[in-house]
A and B are shown apart, each in its own frame.
Chain A
Amino acid sequence: MRISDLLDRQVVDAEGAPVGKVHDVRLVQDGPLLAGGLAALRADALVVGGGTLSVRLGYHRHGVRGPAPLRALFSALERRAVVVPWPELVLTDDGPLRLRCRRAELPGLEDV
């Protein structure tokens, strides 16, 4: 599986309600130590919804400080994204990715 197999895929929750598109994959560097001296990156969660541009700019996650009007706008849009923990995900080859939970149960970007 590649990261590109996940990006831009539609996500629907356990009741079939649309959640949005996958805009990013959150990785946590807490896996086994590798030959290069770094710990392996574990796929931890998907960032879904919130608007393509705002999530790609990463104003909120990167702590970008300016210009202030753009920061206010794009941070607000980015914070509308939800985080789908990896265990809640049902991987499929085609079509939308399905969740084991409802959209309302998903944490926001500020909650993780």
Chain B
Amino acid sequence: MAGRVLYAGLQLLDRQLVDRSGRLCGKVDDLELGEPDDEGNRHVEAVLSGPGALLGRTGHRRLGDWLRRFAGRAFAADGGDPVRISFGRVVDIGNHISLDMDNEEAATFAAERWVRDHIIGRLPGSGIRADQ
């Protein structure tokens, strides 16, 4: 049976990622293809999300590589950049991409979470606990 046809640029890249609770968790910035199987076919193995992947895709590869290295050091505890989400966690592809995981598990928005935890959360009266 012929499978559904999708165009990566038209129907996947830049689409919104949504977790199982309907919360936003980044966008599809790139797709990772696996090694060829016995028949020479390559399959999409992961969704990549993060500014490093986006910059690499939009012609700023050196800046993207630098950002990936920087984020890998600065936000290593928060997942680094880009975040790699196994394609097996994708449950629906439509106007947005639905994931079978929680926003926190997806670990996107590493920089935003770092700023929240280390700066905003420490401001008196912010109402955000650093461990939230």
Which residues does A use to contact B, with CB under 8 Å?
1-4, 7-8, 23-32, 34-44, 47, 55-56, 58, 61-62, 86-87
Give the residue name and chain of the B residue nearest to A24 (CB): B9
Nearest CB of chain A from residue B109's CB, rounded to whole Å: 21
* B-side interface size class: 20 to 34
Does the CB pair B8–A24 fall under 8 Å?
A: yes
Given A4-B56, A7-B9, A24-B10, A41–B91 Cβ distance below 8 Å?
A: no
User: Which residues of chain B are near A31, meaning CB under 8 Å?
Assistant: 3, 41, 43
Q: How many residue pairs at the A-B interface have CB separations less than 8 Å?
A: 107
CA distance A42 to B44 in the complex (A): 6
B10 contacts which of A29, A30, A58 (Cβ < 8 Å)?
A58
Which residues does B use to contact A, with CB under 8 Å?
1-10, 12-13, 30-33, 40-44, 48, 53, 56-57, 59, 87-93, 100
**A-side interface mostly:** mixed
